[in-house]
Amino acid sequence: MIIKSVELETVCGITSKLPENTKPEFAFAGKSNVGKSSLINALMNRKSFARTSSQPGKTQTINFYNINDALYYVDLPGYGYAKVSLEVKAKWGKMIENYLHKSSMLRCVFLLIDIRHEPSENDKTMYDWIVHNGYQPIIIATKLDKLKRSQVQKALKVLRTGLGIGSDVTVIPFSAETKQGREEIWDLISESVNS
């Protein structure tokens, strides 16, 4: 995909009305620190356009990035940051659920999981929410470069078993360092926009 323009068009807080976009939306969900901003930056061909979490869990917004005036990347709030109160956690949950439920332009949800770790309860809950709202999440296994090549297959197996998913669910290993996996994600997005 050739990135011609990128604009942070809408930032939604807890009480904001969601935008009524007319272009396809692609959402990114994942635990804070999983590498979501790094992935979104890589998919925008930008170094640090999307926020990176020097203070994980601080941002409680849904950010809509207009890409090429043709589609949106939707950056959902990172969940599972330990130092946040239960009340705040519940609010994030509501925001994410509300978006999944209400967006009429949402084409695909990417759920990010760190390739080195077994999926957490929060990851499983997120997976179930996405499915419950009628979407089959595409899993992105982040930080691929942190594993030795010989460890990758086993890690992917642990990830699949942890989420309880079969071979029908797409899992894309990705590294923001080497950009491995980026073309595959772009292809999925382009196919969906053009279909």
Contacting residues toward ligand GDP, per CB under 6 A:
30, 32-38, 52-53, 56, 78, 142-143, 145-146, 175-177
- Is 60 within 8 Å of 88 (Cβ atoms)? yes
Q: Which of 63, 57, 56, 52 is nearest to 21 (CA)?
A: 63
Residue with structure tokens 């709202």? Answer: 133
Nearer to ligand GDP, 10 or 175 (CB): 175
For residue 191, the minimal CB distance to ligand GDP (Å) is: 24
Q: What are phi and psi of 161, to 5 degrees?
A: -65, -45
> Nearer to ligand GDP by C-beta: 78 or 137?
78
Least Å distance, CB 155 to ligand GDP, is 14
Nearer to ligand GDP, 118 or 177 (CB): 177
Residue with Cβ nearer ligand GDP (38 or 103):
38
Minimum CB distance to ligand GDP, residue 145 (Å): 5
Which are the contacts of 96, defined by CB distance < 8 A and separation ≥ 6?
A: 29, 62, 76, 77, 79, 126, 129
